[in-house]
Chain A
Amino acid sequence: MRYLIIGGGVAGTSAAEEIRKLDAESSITILSEEEHQLYSRVLLPHYIKGKIPRERCFLKKQTWYAEQKIDWLPGVTAVKLDTQNKFVAASDGREYEYDKLLIASGGEVRLLPADSRGTCYLRTLDDADHLLQLLGEAPMSASIVGGGFIGLEFINIFADRKIPAKLHMKEERFFPSVLDEDSSALIREKAEADGIAFKTGSTPEALEGLVGVGIGIAPNIAFATEAGVKTNRGVLTNEFLETNIADVYSAGDVAEFFDLVAGRQVMVGNWQNAMQQGRTVGKTMAGQRAAFELVSSYATNCRGVEVIFIGDVDRKAADEVIVKGSKAAGGVAQYFVRGGKLVGATLVNRNAERALATTTIKNREPYV
């Protein structure tokens, strides 16, 4: 059996690790766009803030791949997929045949239309190195573009270093498809108190100086779509992370999977989801078919404001959003209800409700 994995991030690497546990002999190949062995993107803010040294970001040693008899090919991407003849043509000019293929190709950061030397992103270890270099030049001010999780990280990074910054976002509030005004205002007012100014209503074409950009991720799906793999925003899969094509699977940020808990197709771009999907799909690919089921959550802390998203938090997909607390009270919880059941929750400075919300969503119970 030949397993081919497109993507050397946590989804692809976890899948390879799981396959190897169940199948000691088969060949496993990982095509990895990035040159680094597996590292934790979640640790990049800690690295930038100086909480940990750079080498602590790595989760695998370079020697690990050979020890596990995994062919790890850094700097190689998929160019073309042929599902009839079961091979992938790659950027190194070679063709890789497979019996089972995993598409775990993640996504690329969306770029500003105009890029200057001081423009930095926060997706990869190379991005973090670049940002540290720019911070080392002792900038007097900075800009941030985007009001998502990466924008919140840039707020922390600049405010920690007492660099005055202006945040530009298209919408009037953070996460407009998720948060209400009070939840967003709790984050914004604390950031403003810590030296961050806001410009809402548009995102600029070009900015001078140090610019931290977090305007989303574009999934790497073109090669899959061209090959007849069904895609929408991402690669469409069922709850087993199987695509419409036999022996082709998908996991991680690139997968638009059927979420058993939410009861609909979703994309989730976080670490826990990617790792768990990798482990689950690895089992399935190695012959122990397993459904993926997880109540995903995001948690971040922006200048002391705790922000937690649990489960399916798309306002448009909810029948009803029940709000507890307020900005004045110092914390806001939103409970997302669909079909009489709790499907998601957002907690801003209301951490204590997390465990119950997670359990209720997991058990498909109504909000009480």
Chain B
Amino acid sequence: MKLTIKVDPDLCIGAASCVTIAPETFQLNDENKAVVLDHSTEPGGRVYERVIEVTEDEKGNIILAAQSCPTLAITILDEAGTQLFPEM
């Protein structure tokens, strides 16, 4: 399945909780903000938003990473555009 993963750089404070839990999906850039990766690769460069293909396990871990963010800077949507996190 595909997920859309977005980081709001205005909310991100570089706590790096997401990097600890899902390092293949999140890394920090030189501004100390989280960027989104596609399985440790960065086609198109360092970006705050990306659509990636994931397995069910990977999806669970990415949502866990988003839940760990103390500023709720990470939003996750499914293919239908339904917001999986934060819960509305």
Binding site for B on A (CB under 8 A): 40-43, 46, 51-52, 56, 59, 270-272, 275-276, 294-295, 297, 299-301, 306, 308, 351-352, 354-355, 358
Contacts and interface: CB of A to CB of B under 8 A. Distances in A.
Contact of B71 (A40, A354, A358): A40
Nearest to B27: A355
Nearest to A298: B15
A156 B49 CA distance: 28
A114 to B, nearest CB: 33
A362 to B, nearest CB: 10
Nearest to A294: B20
Given A52-B11, A272-B17, A59 B30 contact: no
B31 interface: yes
Given A297-B15, A299-B16, A301-B32, 16 more contacts: A40-B70, A41-B70, A42-B15, A42-B70, A56-B72, A59-B72, A272-B15, A272-B70, A275-B17, A297-B16, A299-B13, A306-B32, A308-B14, A351-B14, A351-B32, A358-B16
B32 A354 contact: yes
A71 B71 CA distance: 26
Nearest to A40: B70
A363 to B, nearest CB: 13
Q: Please report whether the interface of chain B is mostly helix, strand, loop or mixed according to DSSP.
A: loop
A345 to B, nearest CB: 13
Interface in B1-44: 10-11, 13-17, 20, 27-28, 30-32
> Which 9 residue pairs across A and B have the least CB separation, nearest first?
A42-B70, A299-B14, A271-B70, A272-B17, A351-B32, A40-B70, A352-B30, A306-B32, A351-B30
A183 to B, nearest CB: 16
Given A46-B11, A271-B15, A299 B32 contact: yes
B28 A354 contact: yes
Interface string B38-79: 000000000000000000000000000000101110000000
7 contacts: A40-B70, A42-B71, A272-B17, A294-B20, A306-B14, A308-B14, A358-B16
B32 A51 contact: no
